[in-house]
Structure 1
Amino acid sequence: MKAADVRQHVTTPLTGPAYAPMVPRFTDREYLNVVYRTDADALRAVVPEPLRIEEPLVRFEIMKMGDVSGYGPYTEAGQAIPVGFEGERGEYLHTMHLDNFPATASGREVSAYPKVIGSPALYVDSGALVGTLDHGSVRVATATMGYKHHELDRAEAEAQITVPTFMLKTIPGYDGLPRVQELVRTRITDVTVKGAWTGPARLQLFQHVLAPLADLPVLEVVSAGHILTDLTLSGVEPVHDYLKGAAS
């Protein structure tokens, strides 16, 4: 294979990529979002500067993706932290656990999503929408919400899921030091909200050394939402270079 041909490949392995080189479209993406108040010191310990914490809030999310071009169906769970950056409000993606390896590899390599393999689930059980996350055979999180108790304004639902999201991109060099270390930003586009509901909710997080969601403890559930939508994830752009101390 000639050098010019090598440069046409952007995935690993070279001739057997782990994921399709495409921008995926999500159809019937279903969210369970539980926003909760947590310990402010715990948040400050995990949110990187220059992002700013305005309130000690966390959004726990379970996302069931029934049809994703390039990946197929999968489910994902994680934590997003409301932050501010240069006058813009958004969310810092803290943890993401999913049951699909191509989506995990793509999210880490192409973008900067903090994805690891886990076993999340989203389903309805006896009048409650239930979201769970397991690491191996151990339960890490359980969220419950009254199933479609009240309609949620669709414009409000869209606003909840389309705020800019920030992530930390680190690529180590061969000397063990960072070769790339950037704060990057992305957002959801081409959104169609098909349904949105709210209702009472509860959230339990359980201690696990390899899935430390409970390090951001649940002090109070603030709100909850159940959203069904189609959407596309746009690419990422660097907004701060930690190795240079300035925007790229």
Structure 2
Amino acid sequence: MRADDIPDLLLTTPVNSPAYPLPPYRFTDREYLTITYRTDPDALRRVVPEPLAVPEPLVHFEVIRMPDVAGLGSYSESGQLIPVELDGEQGEFSLAMYVDSAPAIASGRELSAYPKKAGSPRLYVDGDTLVGTLDHGSLRVATATMGYKHQPLDPAQARAELAAPTYLLGIDRGYDGAPLRCELVRTRITDLTVKGAWSGPARLQLFEHALAPLADLPVREVVRATHVLADLTLAPAEPVHDYLKKVPSA
């Protein structure tokens, strides 16, 4: 392999078997269980980076089943997103995502800035109940339950919520540990088709874990729950704030 070929030929390593294919990734029948809950405002302030503002002390806990993803196959993920505001625009800050697919973890971290790490999420129906769980290793760290399709949800409302921008922290370091990149980036869902949307009663339990600290944002009150089925594509991330940019001296 010639040196001049490397930038054009390689998306990622290994050189003879890249960890993931080129995007875009099209998601078919992506299924969400989202429980919105009220938490400790001081705990939120400790994890949400400026210049993002937190209008209310709310958290979205999600479990997502993705049975058909072009290029990545079938996998699930779970995590916490925090409703935020930037320059008057409402969005979400993605705090952590726990994923059961190595290609999805690698592509999410390398191509964008998704805070993905290994975990074992599961979304399934148990009788009349939609159940979402998250395990880290052999230990349960979250259990969510919702009444299965109790009330229809306006598809326009579900579409607006899914299409809101997501903010992420993109961090890269050099071989000496010094930061090469530290920026806030924004992405959003495109080509969105909502195929079904429901709401219902819900409960959420979070369990203490040193390496999956979801319970650091404790559940004070469950505000609402939604169950959405959709087809969509994820847009590339774009930078909105550079934390390493030096402010010129006066």
Common topology (TM > 0.5): yes
Amino acid at match of 1:134: D
* Alignment partners' CA distance in 2, 1:96 and 1:245: 31
Q: Is residue 213 of structure 2 the alignment partner of residue 229 of structure 1?
A: no
- State the match for 1:195 in structure 2: 196
Amino acid at match of 2:120: S
Pair 149,233 (structure 1): closer, same or farther in 2 beyond 3 Å: same
- State the match for 1:116 in structure 2: 117
* Alignment partners' CA distance in 2, 1:12 and 1:206: 36
**SS at 2:204 equivalent:** strand
The Cα offsets for residues 80-108 of structure 1, whole Å up to 9 and x where unpaired, read as: 00001112110000010011100000000
**SS at 2:103 equivalent:** helix
- State the match for 2:5 in structure 1: 5
* Alignment partners' CA distance in 2, 1:158 and 1:212: 30
TM-score, scaled relative to structure 2: 0.97
**SS at 1:32 equivalent:** strand
RMSD across aligned positions (CA): 0.9
- State the match for 2:60 in structure 1: 59
* 1:6-155 alignment, distance < 5 Å: 6-8=6-8, 9-155=10-156
Identity level (%):
64
**SS at 2:22 equivalent:** coil
The Cα offsets for residues 147-193 of structure 1, whole Å up to 9 and x where unpaired, read as: 00000000001111110000000001122121111100000000000
- Count residues with an aligned counterpart: 246
Amino acid at match of 2:231: D
* Alignment partners' CA distance in 1, 2:88 and 2:242: 18
Structure 2 unaligned residues grouped into runs of 5+: none
Instruction: List structure 1 runs of 4+ shifted beyond 6 angstroms.
Output: none
TM-score, scaled relative to structure 1: 0.97
Amino acid at match of 2:81: A
Return the offset for 1:245. 5.2
* Alignment partners' CA distance in 2, 1:198 and 1:22: 32
Structure 1 unaligned residues grouped into runs of 5+: none
**SS at 1:73 equivalent:** strand
The Cα offsets for residues 68-89 of structure 1, whole Å up to 9 and x where unpaired, read as: 0001010110000000111211
The Cα offsets for residues 180-234 of structure 1, whole Å up to 9 and x where unpaired, read as: 1110000000000000000000000000001000000000000000000000000
Amino acid at match of 2:129: A
**SS at 1:45 equivalent:** helix
* Alignment partners' CA distance in 1, 2:86 and 2:54: 9
* Alignment partners' CA distance in 1, 2:15 and 2:94: 29
Amino acid at match of 1:193: V
* Alignment partners' CA distance in 2, 1:118 and 1:35: 21
* Alignment partners' CA distance in 2, 1:88 and 1:155: 18
* Alignment partners' CA distance in 2, 1:22 and 1:55: 34
Amino acid at match of 2:193: T
* Alignment partners' CA distance in 1, 2:4 and 2:166: 34
